[in-house]
Structure 1
Amino acid sequence: MRKNLEEHAAAYAARRVERYAWTGCAVVAPGFAMASGLGPHRVWGWVAGAGYAVAALLTSGSVPLRAARAVAVLGAVVVPLVGLVAAGLGQSEVTVVERSGLLLLTSGSPYVTDPVAVADFNPYLPGTALFGVLPGDARWWLGGAFVASLAAAGLHRARLLACPLVALPLAVGGIDLPVAGLMCLGLSLAGRGRPGRAGLTLGAAAALKWTAWPALPVALALIAVRRGGRPAVRCAAVGLSTATAAVLPFALADPAGFYRNAVAFPLGLSATASPAASPLPGWLLAEYVPGGTVIAVAFLSVGALLIALSLVVRPPSTVRAAAGRLALGLGLATALMPATRFGYLVCPLVLGALAHRAPHHATAVVPSVKKALA
């Protein structure tokens, strides 16, 4: 009897927390729509706000939480995505990805050698052009890769998909989604003792965006602790060869264009300012402090060194710890980059979800490895 009462109380508390969460989202989404100057953002905000409101109402009754979450995903992701694609409206990332795919097919390179206007720049690595080569709107492929990666990593969570930081880029377009999904999958494979597949997955992520590169040393530290040095070397070899094969040919073919697009522009070192601007520490330094860009890059470098040092001094021994360490590192990077925006927080958010939800079988060091390390 007491156990039933405790279970009932826990279920009631969970329902109440979720109701508050959906209510908060129902307030935030329309507020974002009113504050944003971008049409796709406004459409998403109003439509998603209605979806969140319905989900909150459903959690107030006896409707199963699973049904309320499905409604939240439908209202915050599916309906605005379909509507925006049908109307031909999307975030600038969609245009960049599709144009880079067209450039790759016509000129052999996804970059403009001498970019001048913001629309000329492609701040992503060459792998993103593949999403622009595929038929149809790039958002289908970007979102599909993200959802498939999460499913393969064991993150079957409707609440994660409906979270505003995830739902917004799913609807309006965002290259960070497949990067985050592949990083989660790579760490999960590393924890399962599959170094070759982990290296291939993380190498694919590293071919999309620079933010995925820190995931490789984190995975190597995890594999070294759990499986030993030889599997870690295998993961490193596969990951680096995959990323290098995708990036190096384009960097060598047009080094000036590659540097201007994929290095100088995202770091805020080009003459043309990046539109990525949110009042985070790195952007505030670059905007208001003399020499602030250099200072921000210096802080960014120090943060990277500290995270690298932590991998040596106290390497992660579980998928939870590895995902948490990577989430911390990418969170610091997002805060300190000179050209940054709140949307980049989707990567540490998704990795944080993996740190919270990693499989139980990946939460302890294998006994044989413990003995080997002793």
Structure 2
Amino acid sequence: MRNSLDQSVRRLSGTAWGTCRRSRVERCAWAGCAAVALGLALVSHLGPHRVWGVVAGSGYAVAALVTSPSYPRRAGRAVAVAGAVVLPLVGLVAAGERQLEVSVVERSGQLLLTTGSPYVSDPAAVADFNPYLPGMALFGVLPGDARWWSGGVFVAALAAAGLLRARLLACPLVALPLAVGGIDLPVVGLMCLGIVLAGRGRSSGAGLVLGVAAALKWTAWPALPVVLALTAVRQGRRHALRCAVVALGVVTVAVLPFALADPAGFCRNVIAFPLGLTSTTSPASSPLPGHLLATYVPGGTVIALTLLAASAVVIAVSVVARPPGTARGAGIRIAAGLGLAMTLLPATRFGYLVYPLVLGALALRPPSHRTPPLNFRERALA
């Protein structure tokens, strides 16, 4: 009896110690986020970023104060989401303040309605360029601020993928673009959903979702071969072919008519400009390796693009030699590939790191009981 009581006391003490330790870690994390947000407010020259930094920094600070063993950790997370996402988003939308990307998307939507194309044939200024694929213009066609629609697609995709977490939404790399207008969020959200659907054996659904993501921006395209490999491993080549046909069908319908209508304008906007191959400099200029090479090294643009191609080949070889058998494995490959790409692009910014962050969260997610077991017979035939 006494031994049983001692064991119960030790178990409760261990649980209490673990809870206290986790609360301290989370409190330090929110305090660190507050420092990052307030630091951004001090150094950024962009008005929306400064507003976000002040509001979000205050929200993170309150979340750090609220997070303690006396309160559930979800209370601090709710405060962090409210302070870093909801309040700055509502305030910035009401004030009409946004990143340039939101204006580009909304203008492309209006161009699509008035001219039949989301692109300016001969862009000159930075604001004239539309580096996104035609599907992105739909966010500019819909009524209201494009941030509501892009953020809504991101949140809905994460929820459908079982990845909607307060800590992920409140992370500065996610909360900042949600508030000021990051158009990469719906792309990476749909990529995660497509990977999860492929892991669940829903090849047609995965192809449809990834096709939509690939019609928004080039950055979704590396997910296609990895997901096809995952589908072939789990279900066989027939299902992989079905996934490919659906995805490529969606992309073809969404992109090809605009590419054929004005090939030169399409290439200037969505190929040359993102790669830094136009006379107009992209504002994406964070001091990551690709940008530093292109800026300070003779022939640096060619070197950066060569390294980018080499990293793509390495990831492709790894997928062929050892294809992923789970959604987590596919998420790791895509996160690694896009992480390398985002650091090596000549025109890049820190915000692009949201891709490896969100895909990494998918890869680190505990295995789901909904994932069907491997069909070893079909895997042998794949």
1:149-173 deviation per Cα after TM superposition (whole angstroms, max 9, x unaligned): 0000001200000000000000000
1:373 Cα deviation (Å)?
A: 5.6
1:111 aligned onto 2:111: no
Structure 1 window deviating more from structure 2 (230-239 vs 351-360): it is 351-360
Q: Of the two, which has the highest radius of gyration?
A: 2
Distance 2:99 2:165 in 1: 25
1:361 Cα deviation (Å)?
A: 3.2
Residue 5 of structure 2 corresponds to none
| Aligned positions of 1:1-374 closer than 5 A | 1=8, 2-60=10-68, 62-361=70-369, 366-369=374-377, 372=380
Q: Decide whether the 8 Å contact of 1:317 with 1:363 is kept in 2.
A: no
Q: Decide whether the 8 Å contact of 2:339 with 2:353 is kept in 1.
A: yes
1:297 Cα deviation (Å)?
A: 0.8
1:19-76 deviation per Cα after TM superposition (whole angstroms, max 9, x unaligned): 1100101111000110100000000000000000000001135121111101000000
Q: Decide whether the 8 Å contact of 2:236 with 2:378 is kept in 1.
A: no
Letter in 2 for 1:10: G
Letter in 1 for 2:24: R
1:244 Cα deviation (Å)?
A: 1.3
Change (3 A) 1:9 1:367: farther
1:347-369 deviation per Cα after TM superposition (whole angstroms, max 9, x unaligned): 11000000011543377851544
1:295 Cα deviation (Å)?
A: 1.0
Q: Decide whether the 8 Å contact of 1:150 with 1:181 is kept in 2.
A: yes
Letter in 1 for 2:197: L
The gaps in structure 1 that reach 5 residues or longer are none
Question: Cα RMSD over matched residues?
Answer: 1.4
**Runs of at least 4 residues of structure 1 off by over 6 A?**
none
Distance 1:30 1:92 in 2: 22
1:124-168 deviation per Cα after TM superposition (whole angstroms, max 9, x unaligned): 000000000000000000100000000000012000000000000
1:291-333 deviation per Cα after TM superposition (whole angstroms, max 9, x unaligned): 1111111111111111111100011111111101100000000
1:370 Cα deviation (Å)?
A: 7.2
Distance 2:360 2:297 in 1: 32
1:233-289 deviation per Cα after TM superposition (whole angstroms, max 9, x unaligned): 100110111111111110000101100000000000011110000110100010001
The gaps in structure 2 that reach 5 residues or longer are 1-7
Please report the TM-score for the alignment, with normalisation by the length of structure 1. 0.97
Q: Decide whether the 8 Å contact of 1:55 with 1:71 is kept in 2.
A: yes
Residue 3 of structure 2 corresponds to none
Q: Decide whether the 8 Å contact of 1:47 with 1:76 is kept in 2.
A: yes
Distance 1:205 1:369 in 2: 31
Q: Decide whether the 8 Å contact of 1:317 with 1:364 is kept in 2.
A: no
Distance 2:101 2:367 in 1: 33
Please report the TM-score for the alignment, with normalisation by the length of structure 2. 0.95
1:93-123 deviation per Cα after TM superposition (whole angstroms, max 9, x unaligned): 1000000000000000000000001010001
Letter in 1 for 2:273: F
Letter in 1 for 2:137: A
Secondary structure of the 2:369 match is: helix
Distance 1:370 1:97 in 2: 43
Q: Decide whether the 8 Å contact of 1:191 with 1:362 is kept in 2.
A: no
Distance 1:246 1:131 in 2: 14
Distance 1:322 1:5 in 2: 40
Structure 1 window deviating more from structure 2 (33-42 vs 55-64): it is 55-64
Letter in 2 for 1:57: L
Letter in 1 for 2:122: D
Distance 2:236 2:228 in 1: 10
Change (3 A) 1:182 1:77: same
Change (3 A) 1:365 1:337: farther
Distance 2:378 2:66 in 1: 48
1:8 Cα deviation (Å)?
A: 2.3
Secondary structure of the 1:266 match is: coil
Q: Decide whether the 8 Å contact of 2:64 with 2:76 is kept in 1.
A: yes
